[in-house]
Structure 1
Amino acid sequence: MVRPRWAGHPLSPSYARSVRYFPGVQALRRTVTALVFVGLALPGPAQAATPRWDHPGYDAEDSWFNPHEAALTPATVGRLTRSWSVHLRHLDESCSGFSAPVLGAGRVFATDRAGVSAYRPSSGALSWRFTWEHADDNSTARLAVAGDLLILANGDCNSMSDPDGRLTALDTATGRVRWRLEPDNPIDSVVVDKNVVLVSGTSPSDEDRVAAYRVRDGRLLWSRPRHASSGVSADGLVPLATTDGSGVPTGTTVAVDIATGAPRWSRRATWQVQAASPAADRFYVTDRSGVLLSVDARTGAVLLALPGRGTPLLATDGPRLYVADGVRLTALAAGTGRALWSYTFPGPITQPVLAGGLVYTGSRVLNASTGAPAGPTVPGGVIVTGGRLYQVNGPRLTTYLPELRDRRSELGV
């Protein structure tokens, strides 16, 4: 879970949610202003043993939902205090920027104007930095953690007619380059799942193409010309849209196995995939008329159609869908589409983020069950995991956690 090349400032409202679009059509964008990660949280059986957030949308399903958060909840979110904060590198001559940090392999990885930096989640101590050779010709990388590798997917910035993509795999412990590729096509979407990196891109000089590479060494596994991916995988199943090769959809969506490219099902429809359910049994897609559809991931059958609900700003915890439309956030029952609650904000909101029974919106924090305000206003985008809230607001990464004395009280200390 858009301008080609990921150009532009990723913290601005124009930055793509995950840089996915129908080829040749300006993408609907999700504002990914901040993201997040994590140190150890309060101990307890309900808390995940190893906090993670290895994709911008939490995982390859792009649900924007962390099901393991148990420490930062409606009962504790009002007691947030700053734990640490770091300044992200800034260069005047750069087309890279600040976006979607990810967490994995015991480190927080954040893009900056010079490249990518890695930090210790508990203290903010710098582990290493990777610097672009030419920051003025490298767009902001989309990040994903896969085992002991950090995948960077981006491209050049200085060619509008014939841009190229770039894939770089860094060692998560050292920042050393393990492998690097420069595909002829730009990279407009990317998803990492089942030890496969799947990318998609089009340009005026390149035929639309989806390509899958092995995470371990970057070896090409398979490719499909005249197809485009939205960058969402449901347990290894990825829907692709067919095109005429020049960015124009031709009206078919085919779901393929990410590891082999083998088709599982096909439908006569042009769908933009926004997310998959946490259980990977449904895709949530929008069609060209703005209808939000719930689709059976196994068969492609349409289970539910919600006219007027189409949006790229969508999150799901399974039972509920959370859709943002301008200044309004609405929670819908995933099975029926019935509106459960709605909240209107004083200004535009960003990508909804779900964790610990809370919804983070780039503004007021809400109770996910009721829609009632539950915590302070948190500007920018956030992601929550391991009992910590991480925020990117301008060129600064900050983490917060509940006040220490209250945490001790909860533990009976």
Structure 2
Amino acid sequence: MRSVISAALSLTLIVVPPTSAPALWDHPGYDAERSYFNPHESAITATTVGHLHQMWTQNLRQADDTCAEFSAPILGGGILFAADLKGVSAHNPTTGVVLWRFDWDSVEDIGANGTMRMAVADDTLILSNSECEGFSGGKSRLLALDMAGHIRWQLPKVDAINSIVVDKGTVLISHVYIEGDATVLAYRVRDGKPLWSKPGYNAAEVSADGLVPLYKYDDDEETSYETAAVDITTGTARWSRPLDLRVQAASPASDRFYATDSSDALIALNAANGASLWSTPAGEYPGLAIDGPRVYVAVAHKISALAAATGRPVWSRTQPDWVSHPVVAAGLLYTGGAVLNAETGTPTAAAFPGKVIPAGGRLYQVNGPHLTAYQP
């Protein structure tokens, strides 16, 4: 591992679009709920999205012999973080200038699921990785960097980190051992202090205002036969149900979980007690975004909107290209291609391939090895 710090001085006149929105997208799904919904964006709308102009672009580092993929950036602490194929780069969000870089020990250590995991909390960048083969034989890492790129704390390497969720000053990981056992482990974001553990479980990468779903882990069948929810800071159980579910997201209000089951149904759950509210067919490996009134479901070339209250279809559209994980803000739905009207599914005049986050009056895009910023 090495940490590379670089800086550049420049005199540039930057025109910042008028917006009261905080420049924040500090989790992969905007928030710990993984709603993929930014309720504060107000500058990029149906009126302005067709007139965005490029502010800057930067090339992301590439590497051979890695299973990693380029992922959407995150924004927190006034810094834009982008995962590349060697580690992570920190950028000035206004100019794109590289502030510093962090490298993993090996490009094979980036992530078993294609990308590393990262989140920002309390002016700390949380990073985790796993080897490409999944069980890394003691190469998976969890560490925290300060906003200057220096290691604040790190834990000893482990076999495999299956999931990570950060909320309420706590980082929660699922550690699966090479022998097949699993444990959920909680640490304090500030200093990495261990808080609690729960053997025999995996955790979802979702927190509904501090409530995190867990799955009972059967090391013989490698399936879950119990879904429970615990307080992220204490591990105290709130409810448990004998169901095999995979919670994918929570509502922006943190009152519902959205999960899939083995039949590829999408199920809405009451976050407070785990009661099922509705269920509807969804398809395999759906990408979800939730803006309150609607749940957006992306599967292959299809993007659909469901009424959040009932699960009933609102609209559906088939795209010529594969739909990326949907992102919603200011009445717009970003799909990895055409930008849609979130209420009707009608295409706007704009299209942005790749993965995007709208935040602080700007649209940040990763399309292959290119990181680009746009504004009205």
TM > 0.5: yes
Using the alignment, how far apart are the partners of 1:330 and 1:150 within structure 2? 33
Partner of 2:45: 73
Partner of 2:141: 166
| 1:187 CA displacement | 0.9
What's the TM-score once normalised by structure 1's chain length? 0.83
Equivalent position to 1:107, from 79, 87, 91: 79
Greater shift, 124-133 or 284-293, is seen at 124-133
| 1:71 CA displacement | 0.4
Greater shift, 195-204 or 259-268, is seen at 195-204
Partner of 2:272: 298
Q: 1:180 to 1:367 in 2, by over 3 A?
A: same
Equivalent position to 2:332, from 355, 358, 363: 358
Equivalent position to 1:316, from 279, 282, 290: 290
Cα RMSD for the two superposed structures: 1.9
Unaligned runs of 5+ in 2: 1-13
Does structure 1 conserve the Cα–Cα contact (< 8 Å) formed by 2:336 and 2:354?
yes
Question: Secondary structure at the residue paired with 2:213?
Answer: strand
Equivalent position to 1:118, from 90, 99, 105: 90
Equivalent position to 1:189, from 158, 163, 170: 163
Does structure 2 conserve the Cα–Cα contact (< 8 Å) formed by 1:271 and 1:288?
yes
Using the alignment, how far apart are the partners of 1:93 and 1:248 within structure 2? 29
Q: 1:309 to 1:337 in 2, by over 3 A?
A: farther
Partner of 2:240: 266
Q: 1:372 to 1:41 in 2, by over 3 A?
A: farther
Does structure 2 conserve the Cα–Cα contact (< 8 Å) formed by 1:41 and 1:71?
no
Q: 1:101 to 1:182 in 2, by over 3 A?
A: farther
Deviations 1:308-358 (A, max 9, x none): 456431111011011112212111111112211111111221111001110
Question: Secondary structure at the residue paired with 2:149?
Answer: coil
Count of residue correspondences: 360
| 1:392 CA displacement | 0.7
Question: Secondary structure at the residue paired with 2:50?
Answer: helix
Using the alignment, how far apart are the partners of 1:167 and 1:160 within structure 2? 15
| 1:43 CA displacement | 2.8
Using the alignment, how far apart are the partners of 1:158 and 1:66 within structure 2? 34
Higher relative contact order (CA 8 A, sep 6+): 1
Does structure 2 conserve the Cα–Cα contact (< 8 Å) formed by 1:185 and 1:209?
no
| 1:147 CA displacement | 1.5
**Correspondence list, 1:129-208, <5 A:** 129-139=101-111, 140-157=115-132, 160=135, 162=137, 164-172=139-147, 174-208=148-182
Deviations 1:241-261 (A, max 9, x none): 102235623411110000011
Does structure 1 conserve the Cα–Cα contact (< 8 Å) formed by 2:138 and 2:157?
no
Partner of 1:11: none
| 1:372 CA displacement | 0.7
Does structure 2 conserve the Cα–Cα contact (< 8 Å) formed by 1:162 and 1:205?
no
What's the TM-score once normalised by structure 2's chain length? 0.90
Partner of 2:8: none
Matched, 1:90 2:65: no
| 1:141 CA displacement | 2.1
Unaligned runs of 5+ in 1: 1-38, 403-413
Q: 1:309 to 1:98 in 2, by over 3 A?
A: closer
| 1:179 CA displacement | 0.8
Q: 1:395 to 1:203 in 2, by over 3 A?
A: same
Question: Secondary structure at the residue paired with 1:78?
Answer: helix
